Amino acid sequence: MVQEYTKAQVRDHNKKESVWVLVHNDIYDVTAFLNEHPGGEEVLLEQAGKDASEAFEDVGHSSDAREMMLKYKVGTLVASERKPEQPKKSTVDWKETSESSESSLKSWIIPVALGLAATIIYRLYFMS
Ligand code: HEM
């Protein structure tokens, strides 16, 4: 079974002697990796004991880097403290696109319908 830890337990590992970071609900012991990290030890020390998910993603780590991480994983965050999975970006984009095309359709129909109604009323009253 995977070992579970709380954020408070991760926070205890915030010194050079023992550096843990939290990335996407998984916990990594990067103490032995400090010297080897291509991005330098400073950035890891800065995130020591913290949730480094955003900093990790901002760098745009390669798939090699993501594979490398697995070696340092020591556990996961307890279920009650986990963040819900982020929805996939593509789903959000699609939804936004379909919504905006739907509303642009609506903004089309209303003026056209008003124009038609005006024409009909005009014809009924003034052309008979
Ligand atoms: C176990 C966790 C980590 C592993 C295995 C790892 C691995 C790597 C690797 C292999 C690279 C070289 C570039 C690449 O292949 O993407 C890299 C670069 C870098 N990493 Fe990490 N990294 C980890 C955590 C972090 C964290 C938590 C930060 C937080 C700020 C960070 C910041 C950086 C930076 C700033 C670079 C340099 C990017 C550049 O020079 O363009 N890394 N890391």
pLDDT digits (tens, 9 = 90+) for 34-64: 999 999 999 999 999 999 999 999 999 999 9
In this structure, is the dihedral angle defined by the CA atoms of residues 34, 37, 40 and 42, taken in order, positive or negative?
Answer: negative
CATH number, position 76: 3.10.120.10
Residue nearest (by alpha carbon) to ligand 1 atom 24: 56
Q: Please give the structure tokens belonging to residue 47.
A: 């995130």
Range of the structural domain that residue 57 is part of: 4-81
Are residues 35 and 71 located together in one domain of the fold? yes
Are residues 58 and 91 located together in one domain of the fold? no
Tens digit of each residue's pLDDT (9 = 90 or more) over 63-92:
999 999 999 999 999 999 998 766 655 555
Q: How far is CA 74 from CA 3, 30, 70, 90, in A?
A: 7, 10, 9, 31
Are residues 67 and 17 located together in one domain of the fold? yes
Q: Is 30 in the pocket of ligand 1 (CB under 6 A)?
A: yes
> What is the model's pLDDT at position 83?
82
Are residues 73 and 92 located together in one domain of the fold? no
* Domains: count for the chain: 2
CA of 59 to the centre of ligand 1 (A): 7
Q: Is 36 in the pocket of ligand 1 (CB under 6 A)?
A: no
Is 100 a residue whose pLDDT tops 70?
A: no
User: Of the residues 61, 63, 70, which should be mutated to test ligand 1's pocket, given the most ligand atoms within 8 Å of the CB?
Assistant: 61
With beta carbons less than 8 A apart as the criterion, state whether 34 and 47 touch.
Answer: no
Place of tokens 């080897």: 36
Radius of gyration of the chain (CA): 28
